[in-house]
Amino acid sequence: MVRVALCLTMVIILLSCPVFGEESETGDQSQRIAPQCPKTPLEASKLAASDVAKFKKMFFSGTWTGFQHQFRSRYGSCPDHIKQIYLESARHQMNAGPPRVGSFQVPVRK
């Protein structure tokens, strides 16, 4: 009798856990998928600088086109003036450093 009660409680617990787990995962995914838009131009330029640094760290030979694709997927619904400031700051950050030479490229010698 005790075994049956334990088995039934285990089944009830196992059936109820995925429902709660799915709700918390969808809440976390919505925050990850749709980050908030910057409210001020200063915030947009700071966010652009940090995003460019993360992008360069993740993708060693990342291109401007790749960064723009990532930008459109994250901040596509932001206001136009904020998007323009963000992209202008990011463009300056992407072109600021010297070109990187990877192990697969031969440096140009004069």
Quote the percentage of the chain above a pLDDT of 90: 23
Distance separating alpha carbons of residues 75 and 85, to the nearest angstrom:
12
Distance separating alpha carbons of residues 71 and 51, to the nearest angstrom:
9
Q: Are residues 26 and 42 in the same domain?
A: no
Task: Name the least confident of 19-28, 39-48, 72-81, 101-110.
Answer: 19-28
pLDDT digit string (tens) for 5-22?
A: 776 777 677 666 655 445
Q: Are residues 20 and 67 in the same domain?
A: no
Asked if residue 108 belongs to a domain, the reply is no
Q: Are residues 92 and 41 in the same domain?
A: yes
pLDDT at 21: 46
Is there a contact between 58 and 20 (Cβ–Cβ < 8 Å)?
A: no
pLDDT at 43: 93
Q: Are residues 17 and 48 in the same domain?
A: no
